[in-house]
């Protein structure tokens, strides 16, 4: 088990007091999930979590149980260790079966080798009366070894198929930890990993890496007026539109949190990030959310966006902060627009 909390007793007491202060200011129940989120935030030990909570606090949000569960799932909880352990156990079972079969084949080969040695001695002693019996034994041994070898080959083939299946399951389990269950795009954890890798990767000559932060305007009003089912429909619709807008396999879409999304656009011109963000904004403005039963238009939504080009001295936190500041300017200027 990984030990996450290594602070001294005195430091733990300070963090505990700070965490309880945060809990008292918000609506979530004081349970282990809520406590671990606020503890890691107060300790300053989880950069991704701190950024997510700071964004909520800037929006003056009062964080409830649903928000705590999301923050815990995306920034605190470990990957699905049960799935990984199950895959590891099955892998061990497959390899144990191959090893056992190989051992049996080795025993058969050893026995057959002894029979061949006896046959060689008998052939050297041409007059030996044991020759027919030894030849018969060698023939039987050859057949037995052939059968063992064939069984080993089949076992290895089956093992290869099983290992490939387990490898696929392991990749799927790993990927699911990085995906948002509502939209299927990257979640905050997946975004943080991709962003950190991109900061370390030099852009191609004449190009740069661009980050677009996107927020659905007045999303709380959509939830309050039409309910969370329609709200989820809006979020899924925007995610799908964003996914279609970045067909390049190197570009990626992430649900940054709640109604906020992010686009990572490696190796693009700065003007291309602005152009893509504005194209998405126009397409969203044309979207109509309908009642599936009556086809009545329930609401239309708009988005605001901020674009930031990676600067030479940027780290992930600075880059996000600059894109977030551009997004904030978009909202201050009246929403439904893109700022760089």
Which of these is catalytic: 40, 74, 259, 260?
A: 259
Evaluate the CA torsion angle 133, 135, 137, 140 in order and state its sign: negative
Measured CA distances, 131 to 113, 118, 119, 124, 125 (Å): 16, 9, 7, 10, 9
Q: How many helices (H) and strands (E) does the chain have?
A: 11, 7
Q: Please tell me the number of Cα atoms within 13 Å of 312 on its side-chain side.
A: 0
Is 260 considered catalytic here?
Answer: no
User: SS3 letters for 176-245?
Assistant: HHCECCCCCCECHHHHHHHHHHHHCCCCCCCCEEEEEEEEECCHHHHHHHHCHHHHHHHHHHHHHHHHHH
Q: Strand locations in the chain, DSSP E?
A: 208-216, 252-257, 260-268, 289-290, 297-299, 303-309, 338-339
Q: What does the angle CA 52 – CA 187 – CA 235 come to, to the nearest 5 degrees?
A: 90
Active site residues: 259
């Amino acid at each position: 088990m990984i030990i996450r909390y290594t602070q001294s007793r005195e430091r733990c007491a300070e963090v505990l007091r700070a965490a309880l202060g945060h809990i008292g200011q918000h609506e979530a129940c004081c349970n282990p999930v809520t406590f671990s989120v606020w503890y890691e935030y107060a300790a300053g030990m989880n950069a991704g979590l701190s950024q997510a909570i700071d964004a909520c606090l800037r929006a003056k949000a009062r964080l409830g149980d649903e928000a705590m569960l999301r923050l815990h799932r995306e920034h605190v909880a470990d990957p699905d260790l049960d799935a990984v352990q199950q895959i590891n156990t099955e892998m061990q079972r497959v390899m144990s079966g191959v090893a056992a079969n190989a051992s049996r084949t080795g025993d058969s080969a050893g026995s057959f080798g002894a029979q061949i040695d006896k046959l060689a001695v008998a052939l050297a002693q041409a007059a030996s009366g044991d020759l027919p019996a030894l030849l018969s034994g060698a023939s039987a041994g050859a057949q037995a070894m052939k059968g063992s070898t064939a069984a080993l080959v089949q076992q290895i083939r089956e093992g290869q198929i099983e290992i490939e299946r387990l490898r696929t399951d392991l990749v799927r389990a790993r990927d699911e930890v990085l995906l948002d269950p509502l939209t299927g795009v990257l979640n905050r954890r997946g975004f943080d990993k991709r962003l950190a890798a991109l900061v370390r990767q030099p852009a191609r000559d004449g190009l740069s890496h661009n980050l677009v932060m996107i927020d659905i305007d007045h999303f709380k009003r959509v939830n309050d007026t039409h309910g969370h089912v329609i709200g989820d429909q809006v979020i899924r619709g925007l995610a799908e539109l964003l996914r279609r807008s970045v067909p390049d396999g190197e570009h990626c879409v992430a649900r940054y949190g709640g109604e906020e999304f992010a686009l990572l656009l490696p190796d693009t011109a700065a003007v291309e990030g602005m152009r893509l963000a504005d194209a998405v904004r126009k397409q969203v403005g044309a979207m109509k959310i309908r009642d599936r039963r009556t086809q009545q238009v329930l609401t239309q939504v708009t988005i605001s966006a901020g674009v930031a080009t990676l600067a030479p001295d940027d780290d992930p936190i600075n880059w996000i902060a600059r894109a977030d500041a551009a997004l904030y300017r978009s909202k201050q200027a009246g929403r439904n627009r893109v700022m760089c």
